């Protein structure tokens, strides 16, 4: 079939397999251009391995460190007349390129929050890898069923303690509009913490430790975002921030478990980028469009692969990790530079429908968004017939 983008709000309901493969190839080439990571990981489990920061972590592990990777994700396969999700095609492409270089790669498609998928993962580690020395926690999900209680929690993206009125971009109509978000209820806050907080990360590490599949010196990290004043109402001080603060609490226990093995656990702070998860956060598309404009002008613009490549080389496996005073690893400092945040804030105050393309890089935002789904990728012929059925080699 011939596949064109069909955008609905913060989703694109079609995906281009060839474009996704080209995206993965670009990321692999980028990582390879830095050479091998000294003393990098050997056996890596990536939770949320198919898109965004988790996919980048898988690529850096495999192609920057020669690691065997086991990836867990929740994606939909394509059929003869309906394309699958981007993460499906990214993973099919990752497996193809890994296999071509003789790199071990296996994947599990299912609900990482469930006991069943945790057990399946442990069985695969025991059978193929023995133990893992790095666990990346990069899940971003709208809901989670807690396997212990059977309760399904839905996350919300709302401010806490006060209603929020802030300008953003209506990405469908491409106009600036004022968004009003009511303050979250305590139940909404608790549910968001249950989905995006650290409980499941802790359950994973407990299960892996109990099964004896964490190697001596094993490390784990979960990804977070802090941002600055301009995003705090919706992010750090909102429901999602409450969940991220839970990671900061739970990492202490997780770290003590890993320190006993000579390892370590850290929350890693990454910059704001366009992913399926961030596109869903109200006001974020405008922030990203203004941030891109500002950071591109500064020559400091980065996407997922640049961020994670830097995180591995500088901090996770670097001699001098970039740590903050609460012990988080930091890869986001260029975004938080005062001149960047001041510029974004000033532009935010001036933006309107007449100057949207002049003051912001909304074009760059839209391009990045479509690229997530395999569109607008250089060198891909979008008028050519493409097969939406793409098997993932070594899917367990
Ligand atoms: N996007 C940003 O700007 C940004 C910035 C800093 C930190 N982060 C954090 O990085 C992490 C990853 O986010 P992302 O933006 O890369 O998201 P993403 O939407 O690109 O990726 C989410 C991943 O989780 C997987 N997943 C979702 N539900 C699942 C389930 N039930 N079982 C198994 N897999 C499941 C998906 O398949 C996918 O691989 C999140 O913790 C996010 O908060 C994101």
Least confident of 96-100, 164-168, 281-285: 281-285
Whether residue 311 lies inside any domain: the answer is yes
Per-residue pLDDT, 279: 83
Q: Does 172 have pLDDT greater than 90?
A: no
Say if ligand 1 is within 6 A of residue 344 CB. Answer: no
Torsion sign (Cα): 295, 296, 298, 303? positive
Whether residue 167 lies inside any domain: the answer is no
Whether residue 321 lies inside any domain: the answer is yes
Least confident of 142-146, 176-180, 293-297: 176-180
Whether residue 359 lies inside any domain: the answer is no
For range 381-393, the mean pLDDT: 95
**In this predicted model, what pLDDT tens digit does every residue of 38-53 receive, in sequence order?**
999 999 999 999 999 9
Whether residue 170 lies inside any domain: the answer is no
363 annotated binding-site participant: no
Q: What percent of the chain has pLDDT over 70?
A: 100
Q: What percent of the chain has pLDDT over 90?
A: 94
Q: Which of 87, 138, 286 to mutate to test the pocket of ligand 1 (most atoms within 8 A of CB)?
A: 138
Say if ligand 1 is within 6 A of residue 142 CB. Answer: no
Q: Are the C-beta atoms of residues 75 and 50 closer than 8 Å to each other? A: yes
Q: Among 14, 71, 53, which residue's Cα sits nearest to residue 224?
A: 53
Per-residue pLDDT, 309: 98
Say if ligand 1 is within 6 A of residue 90 CB. Answer: no
DSSP string, 255-279: HHHHHTTT-EEEEEE------HHHH
Q: Does 282 have pLDDT greater than 80?
A: no
Identify the residue whose C-alpha is closest to ligand 1 atom 43: 224
Whether residue 26 lies inside any domain: the answer is yes
Residues assigned a catalytic role: 235
Mean pLDDT taken over the chain: 96
Q: Among 24, 34, 29, 25, which residue's Cα sits nearest to residue 313?
A: 34
Residue 374's alpha-carbon distances to 36, 67, 83, in angstroms, are: 28, 26, 11
Whether residue 33 lies inside any domain: the answer is yes
Give the confidence band of 220 by pLDDT, cuts at 50, 70, 90: very high
- CA 56, distance to chain mean position in Å, is 8
What's the structural domain count of the chain? 1
> H or E segment at 163?
none
CATH number for position 237: 3.40.50.720
What is the domain extent for residue 44? 7-156+188-284+302-332
**In this predicted model, what pLDDT tens digit does every residue of 321-340 receive, in sequence order?**
999 999 999 999 999 999 99
Per-residue pLDDT, 129: 98
**In this predicted model, what pLDDT tens digit does every residue of 353-376 receive, in sequence order?**
999 999 999 999 999 999 999 999
Give the confidence band of 10 by pLDDT, cuts at 50, 70, 90: confident
Q: Does 31 have pLDDT greater than 80?
A: yes
Query: From the CA of 383, how far away is ligand 1's center (Å)?
Result: 31
Say if ligand 1 is within 6 A of residue 274 CB. Answer: no
Neighbouring-strand partners of residue 329: 268, 323
**In this predicted model, what pLDDT tens digit does every residue of 181-197 receive, in sequence order?**
999 999 999 999 999 99
Query: From the CA of 150, how far away is ligand 1's center (Å)?
Result: 22
Query: From the CA of 140, how far away is ligand 1's center (Å)?
Result: 3
Query: From the CA of 83, how far away is ligand 1's center (Å)?
Result: 21
Whether residue 372 lies inside any domain: the answer is no
Per-residue pLDDT, 280: 80
Q: Which of 139, 282, 292, 369 to mutate to test the pocket of ligand 1 (most atoms within 8 A of CB)?
A: 139
């Amino acid at each position: 079939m011939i596949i064109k983008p069909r955008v609905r709000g913060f989703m694109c309901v079609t995906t281009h397999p060839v474009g996704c493969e080209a995206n993965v190839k670009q990321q692999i080439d980028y990582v390879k251009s830095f050479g091998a990571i000294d003393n990098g990981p050997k056996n890596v489990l990536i939770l949320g391995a198919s898109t965004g920061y988790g996919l980048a972590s898988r690529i850096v592990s495999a192609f920057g460190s020669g690691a065997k990777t086991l990836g867990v994700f929740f994606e939909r396969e394509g059929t003869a007349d309906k394309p699958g999700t981007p993460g499906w095609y990214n993973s099919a492409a990752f497996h193809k390129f890994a296999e071509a270089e003789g790199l071990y790669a296996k994947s599990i498609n299912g609900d990482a929050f469930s006991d069943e998928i945790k057990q399946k993962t442990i069985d695969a580690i025991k059978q193929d890898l023995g133990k893992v020395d790095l666990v990346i926690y990069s899940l971003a999900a709208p809901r989670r069923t807690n396997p212990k209680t059977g309760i399904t929690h839905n996350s919300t993206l709302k401010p806490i303690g006060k209603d929020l009125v802030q300008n953003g971009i209506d990405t469908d109509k491409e106009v600036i509009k004022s968004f009003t978000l009511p303050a979250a209820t305590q139940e909404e806050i608790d549910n968001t913490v249950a989905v995006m907080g650290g409980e499941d990360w802790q359950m994973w590490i407990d299960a892996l430790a109990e099964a004896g599949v964490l190697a001596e010196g094993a490390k784990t990290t979960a990804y977070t975002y802090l941002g600055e004043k301009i995003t705090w109402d919706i992010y750090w001080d909102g429901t999602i921030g409450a969940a991220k603060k839970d990671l900061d609490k739970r990492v202490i226990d997780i770290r003590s478990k890993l320190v006993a093995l000579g390892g370590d656990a850290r929350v890693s702070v990454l910059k704001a980028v366009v992913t399926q998860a961030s596109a869903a956060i109200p006001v974020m598309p405008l922030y990203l469009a203004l941030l891109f404009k500002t950071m591109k002008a500064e020559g400091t613009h980065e996407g997922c692969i640049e961020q994670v490549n830097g995180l591995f080389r500088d901090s996770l496996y670097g001699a001098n990790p970039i740590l903050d005073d609460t012990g988080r690893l930091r890869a986001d400092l260029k975004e938080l530079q005062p001149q960047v945040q001041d510029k974004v804030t000033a532009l935010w105050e001036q933006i309107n429908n007449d100057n949207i393309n002049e003051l912001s890089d909304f074009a760059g935002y839209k391009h990045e968004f479509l690229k997530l789904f395999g569109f607008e990728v250089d060198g891909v012929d979008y008028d050519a017939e493409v097969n939406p059925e793409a098997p993932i080699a070594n899917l367990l």
